[in-house]
């Protein structure tokens, strides 16, 4: 059974409010010696697998999640939708990762594939040593029951309405046949800050309390991975902060690898690593770390990286393609330590 440690709230800055230290976007990177127009805050790592400053090394052995070229194509009434178009993602054990992206970008598709509820069309996905592309039906059922915990956006999907919070957790523990159930139920509810709701049914709890109870239910089987798909999507600001703080505390205390989908940039700004999905691919990653500033106070540093895949593909953010008139063809110029990306020269465009 997982020990529940004392809480240290100073580890978890208030999610909805301002951070207790100054937040600064890092202006960093090699000194510019050429005339390329790259903004200082965007840098491109040498390779998607190269460790980035402040990030755990993604080549660490046996990661919790390892996806390569993950593709999911839906076909409905003859129309093909490429929901995932080659996702490369590595998540280390114990990491708390936020996934952001506009509606329709593929976030839920990725979560349902990782949860074992859906199967990708192509590519590879290994979670805690389980190859999701090669599981038998029985293995898939066991995987869903024992390896992953899932929290849906709709609280009503997470909890049975006629059972109390404690009974909802007990149901899962019962299925898993664990002993010491009563202590474990209260330990989990307490960890999520809803021990006082143990004897309440969902309708007697607020939306935020229901979602925190839902996390307790998802953790009951001691999963290796917790997936939450917009768990705060239906909550107000204060409840959102409470749920996310509870998730951060849980991740810190129990070390359960956690992936949270959110469209709230404020939320994403309080986790160490955020991946941004665009059109079914991971377009950028943001790493955050805390450093001691010149005045001795901690300063939060955020760096946004454009993701370069193994085939050398990257997505140039739309604001840059538009403002620099980059379209269809661009010219690359090589310097000793970076590439320049230039719009196609006028004369060439007319000749083609
Ligand atoms: P998000 O969670 O980021 O809003 P989704 O993963 O739900 O995005 O959807 C990605 C794309 O796949 C969207 O274009 C959506 O319409 C499509 N899609 C999702 N599920 C299905 C499905 N079962 N059948 C057909 N298309 C789907
Ligand atoms: Mg979704």
The ligand minimizing its distance to the Cα of 230 is: 2
Ligand 1 atom 16 nearest Cα = 104
DSSP-H helix ranges across 60-162: 107-114, 137-146, 155-158
Q: 71 alpha carbon to ligand 1 midpoint, in Å?
A: 13
Determine the residue of 70, 104, 231 to mutate for testing ligand 1's pocket, defined as the one with the most ligand atoms within 8 A of the Cβ atom: 104
pLDDT at residue 33, rounded to an integer: 26
pLDDT at residue 18, rounded to an integer: 33
Categorize the per-residue pLDDT at 215 as very low, low, confident or very high, splitting at 50, 70 and 90. Answer: very high
**Rounded distance, CA 192 to CA 216, Å?**
7
CATH of domain 9-59+93-117+128-319: 3.40.50.300
pTM score, whole prediction: 0.79
| In the chain, domain spans | 9-59+93-117+128-319, 320-352
The ligand minimizing its distance to the Cα of 100 is: 1
**Rounded distance, CA 193 to CA 277, Å?**
31
Ligand 1 atom closest to the Cα of residue 277 is: 3
Ligand 1 atom 23 nearest Cα = 74
The ligand minimizing its distance to the Cα of 79 is: 1
**Three-state secondary structure call for residue 159:** coil
Determine the residue of 71, 74, 101, 275 to mutate for testing ligand 1's pocket, defined as the one with the most ligand atoms within 8 A of the Cβ atom: 74
Ligand 1 atom 21 nearest Cα = 74
Q: Which of 187-191, 231-235, 297-301 has the highest mean pLDDT?
A: 187-191
Strand locations in 94-207 (E): 96-100, 122-127, 130-131, 148-151
Please say if the pLDDT value at position 291 is more than 70: yes
Task: Specify whether the CB–CB gap between 333 and 348 falls below 8 A.
Answer: no
Q: Which of 39-53, 177-191, 201-215, 229-243 has the highest mean pLDDT?
A: 201-215
Q: Which tokens belong to 142?
A: 């066991």
Q: Which of 28-37, 131-140, 342-351 has the highest mean pLDDT?
A: 131-140
């Amino acid at each position: 059974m997982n020990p529940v440690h004392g809480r240290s709230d100073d580890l978890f800055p208030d999610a909805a409010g301002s951070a207790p230290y100054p937040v600064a976007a890092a202006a960093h990177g090699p000194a510019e010696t050429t005339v390329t127009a790259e903004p200082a805050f965007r840098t491109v790592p040498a390779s998607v697998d190269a460790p980035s400053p402040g990030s755990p090394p993604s080549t660490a052995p046996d990661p919790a999640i390892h996806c390569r070229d993950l593709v999911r194509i839906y076909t409905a009434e003859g129309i093909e939708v490429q929901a995932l178009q080659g996702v490369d993602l590595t998540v280390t054990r114990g990491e708390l990762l936020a996934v952001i992206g506009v509606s329709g970008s593929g976030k839920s598709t990725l979560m349902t594939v990782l949860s074992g509820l859906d199967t990708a069309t192509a590519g590879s996905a290994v979670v805690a040593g389980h190859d999701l592309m090669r599981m038998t039906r029985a293995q898939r059922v066991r995987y869903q029951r024992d390896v992953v915990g899932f929290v849906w956006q709709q609280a009503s999907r997470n909890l049975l309405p006629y059972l109390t919070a404690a009974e909802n957790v007990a149901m899962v523990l019962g299925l898993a046949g664990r002993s010491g159930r009563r202590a474990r139920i209260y330990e989990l509810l307490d960890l999520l800050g809803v021990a006082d709701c143990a004897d309440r049914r969902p309708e007697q709890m607020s939306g935020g309390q229901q979602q925190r109870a839902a996390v307790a239910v998802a953790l009951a089987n001691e999963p290796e991975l917790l997936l939450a798909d917009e768990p705060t999507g239906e909550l107000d600001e204060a409840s959102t902060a409470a749920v996310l703080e509870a998730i951060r505390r849980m991740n810190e205390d129990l070390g359960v690898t956690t992936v949270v989908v959110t469209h709230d940039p404020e939320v994403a700004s309080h986790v160490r690593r955020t991946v941004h999905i665009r059109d079914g691919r991971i377009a950028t990653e943001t790493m955050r770390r805390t450093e001691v500033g010149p005045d001795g106070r901690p300063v939060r540093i955020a760096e946004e990286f454009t993701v370069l895949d193994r085939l050398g593909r990257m997505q140039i953010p739309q604001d840059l393609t538009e403002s620099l008139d980059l379209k269809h063809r661009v010219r690359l110029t090589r310097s000793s330590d970076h590439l320049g990306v230039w719009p196609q020269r006028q004369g060439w465009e007319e000749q083609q």
